[in-house]
């Protein structure tokens, strides 16, 4: 069946079964491999994308449930204000180790910052607890989110 989906500001027509996971449409049909497969059961966060701005596990999101929602992936999150600040903080603090989980980490962190310009520790714990990092980069992730939030605050104060 043909579905028209909006990804990173562009429309794509894909011909797949309705119960196909968005993750596999991104990776296998459209060749957008920045979104990672980890568990396939909404347990690790590696596959996180934004659906209308909300951090969403693409491994359990069927293509027939997406409708007209705007999907953003790691390939374009840097074009958003929050995503740009998060990615810069990730670079500044050398957050990444092996990197496998980091697309999902950045997508969850960007969604958090877009909805909460000044997240506290509890907010960060709540937003990031579903993103697993086998390399244990959690301390740097927390610091990078705080640094990105400070850069947001500085801009707001200047603006
Ligand atoms: S692959 Fe989707 S949460 Fe693990
Ligand atoms: S950086 Fe290796 S799993 Fe997170």
Q: Which atom of ligand 2 is nearest to the CA of 101?
A: 4
| 115-156 pLDDT, tens digit each | 999 999 999 999 999 999 999 999 999 999 999 999 854 444
Rounded distance, CA 135 to CA 98, Å? Answer: 7
CA of 134, nearest ligand number? 2
The answer to whether residues 22 and 60 touch, using CB atoms and an 8 Å cutoff, is no
Closest residue (by CA) to atom 4 of ligand 2? 133
| DSSP track, 81-96 | HHHHHHHHHHHHTT--
Ligand 1 pocket residue status of 46, Cβ below 6 Å: yes
Using one digit for the tens of pLDDT, what is the confidence trace for 98-121?
999 999 999 999 999 999 999 999
109 lines ligand 1 (CB under 6 A): no
Q: Give the pTM.
A: 0.94
Q: Which residue among 57, 100, 134 is best mutated to probe the pocket of ligand 1, counting the most ligand atoms within 8 A of its Cβ?
A: 57
- Alpha carbons 87 and 89: distance in angstroms, whole number: 5
Q: What is the pairing mode between strands 54-57 and 48-51?
A: antiparallel
């Amino acid at each position: 069946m043909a579905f028209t989906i909006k990804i990173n500001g562009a429309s794509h027509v894909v011909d797949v079964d309705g119960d196909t996971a968005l993750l596999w449409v991104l990776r296998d049909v459209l060749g957008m491999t920045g979104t990672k497969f980890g568990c396939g059961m909404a347990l690790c966060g590696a596959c996180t994308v934004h659906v209308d701005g909300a951090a969403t596990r693409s491994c359990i999101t069927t293509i027939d449930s997406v409708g007209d929602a705007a999907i953003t992936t790691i390939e374009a999150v840097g074009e958003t204000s929050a995503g740009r600040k998060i990615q810069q903080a990730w670079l500044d603090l050398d957050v990444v180790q092996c990197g496998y989980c980091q697309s999902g980490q950045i997508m969850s962190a960007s969604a958090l910052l877009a909805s909460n310009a000044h997240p506290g520790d509890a907010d960060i714990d709540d937003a990031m607890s579903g993103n697993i990092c086998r390399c244990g980069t959690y301390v740097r992730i927390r610091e990078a989110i705080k640094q990105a939030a400070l850069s947001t605050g500085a801009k707001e104060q200047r603006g």
